[in-house]
A and B are shown apart, each in its own frame.
Chain A
Amino acid sequence: MTEVFEDQVCPFCGCLCDDIRLEVENGKVVKNDNGCAISKAKFLNHHDDRIESPTVKKSAVSLDDAIDKAVEILASAKRPLIYGLSSTENDAHREAYKIAETLGGVVDNTSSVCHGPTILGVQESGEAAGSLAEVKNRADTIIYWGSNPQFAHPRHLSRYVRVQGEYIKDAKADRKIWVFDIRKTISANVADEFVKLAPGGDLELIGALRAIVRGHPLDVEEAGGVSIEKITEIAEALKGTKYGILFFGLGLTQSKGRHRNIDAAIRLVQDLNAYTKWNMMPMRGHFNVAGANKTSTWQTGYPFAVDYAKGYPRYQPGEYTAVDMLVNKEADVMLNIAADPAAHFPRAAIRHMSTIPVINIDPKRNMTSLLAEVNIPVALSGIECDGSAVRMDGLPLYLRKVVDPPDGVLPDRDVLKMIHTKLRKVVK
């Protein structure tokens, strides 16, 4: 029998497209309409390449035994690091923060290696925020800066930009798309204007744009690899907009300058608001990394890089962030949930991970599962269990369950709750 699910949310990227139509047969998703190529790959292959059983030191064990081992390791840790959270739903996050508090450990999410600098920039200069619906209905100037949506968020353009909106009658004629990047990406190909900047030249270019927007002439020929003539032309175009949106990606947060780039971009948007309406939005990658920042802030007071060693939460990016905790050889145990740090961290961090016990909670096999002492398979959020997640513009959306997880496999939140319940009995 074929079961049909309409308007399912896609749990892959920060767009959280909520118009996916799925067909399910015999406990498997067999058809995905509306989803992009990545969404199709995710739903149609949800049963492939799974961690088949809980394991301790590569030997299959029962779920209870794996949880006991995880509790034993965590209880004996002096400086535990709890990390991940961006590819699971909000309720699982709560349990992770409880574990961090009970243990007096550090809890960080994957935003420390994606939009952490965005948060630092916002804390410095304020948040210019708007919704994606506003973009669709009003934006006549769209910038993608250091972001390649055609690859990383394949439906972003078709759902919010190259589409008709309330005040945008002709998506092609009434909107202008700019791409700022160091290389001509596939998104640059579909843009109306491509501005190629020098590698690491973002901060300089934004600074020059700000100066010119504010009416200060610059006595140089170029800034950030772009001629002053071109920068003047861009500044005039941005000021002449009715509603502008600056979408930015990791090209801005991960390059030279990091949070200083974001700080400057926010100030540019503030400057432009003296003339017209401008907003900005980070292109969030993992489907619930924005949720991890929200839940962390709700429960600990801080969006990432939180340390409970003193019994109360403290915040220090650069110190309690996962890469630093590992590279500085501080963490002596790592509990990883819904992320793959062994595939995405620099080698010095991975090397330290290989010297400490790692407890890995994830549905699928990956580099971290190869390295972990304890692996606990879990259900895929938004496919095999429900929950809520937060879209890149801050909108919470409900993820539905469409198929059952494999036998005996529980959602992250249940596994984490079991760990926490047992931990509380052994940790003072």
Chain B
Amino acid sequence: MNDVGVEVVLTSGRTLKQGQTMELGKLNQKYFEAVAICEVDKSTLEALGLEEGEPVKVKTATGSVVVACKLDRRAEPGIAFMPCGPWANAVLDSDTIESGMPRFKDMDAKLIAAKGEKVPSAEDLLKAIVEVP
């Protein structure tokens, strides 16, 4: 598989839409649309050859997940953002360095264009996580 991509620091956090849509239901389509995304700046989108909304694979040392890419006009190159939730956590390092807290912020990640690949639903993502041998 073509693994050429853009290296970024991946961070996660709340968004207004994430907060609003989780109250509609975590298995709801609107929550999926608000949370299964990765926000990047314009130059990163261009380097990946992606239009907004197209699938991008986010890969870290822990694993990878396909989400929809989104343009953040305030963003600068080098940092990608995912709303906190199942998709961001799928690539999160579980080591808490004896603190109880995994590293939800500043993870080294690579973004790879994933045209044609499907963004997994919450159910599919959960299945993929638990079914790994």
Contact = CB atoms under 8 A, between A and B. Distances in A.
A349 B74 CA distance: 34
B129 A351 contact: yes
Contacts of A183: 11, 74-76, 79, 81
B97 interface: yes
User: Interface size for chain B: under 10, 10 to 19, 20 to 34, or 35 or more residues?
Assistant: 35 or more
A113 B132 contact: no
B96 interface: yes
Interface stretch (A274-282, A318-326, A420-428): A318-326
B66 to A, nearest CB: 15
Given A200-B106, A340-B26, A365-B27, A321 B96 contact: yes
B130 A354 contact: yes
B94 interface: yes
A357 to B, nearest CB: 14
B24 A49 contact: yes
B78 to A, nearest CB: 8
User: Interface size for chain A: under 10, 10 to 19, 20 to 34, or 35 or more residues?
Assistant: 35 or more
Interface string A365-404: 1110011000000000000000000000000000000000
A350 B129 contact: yes
Interface majority SS on B: helix, strand, loop or mixed?
A: loop
Contacts of B74: 183-186, 188-189
B9 A348 contact: no
Contact of A347 (B9, B84, B94, B122): B94
A251 B24 contact: no
Interface string B102-124: 11111000000000000000110
Given A48-B24, A350-B126, A151 B101 contact: no
A343 B85 contact: yes
Interface in A312-369: 317-319, 321-324, 327, 340, 342-351, 354, 364-367
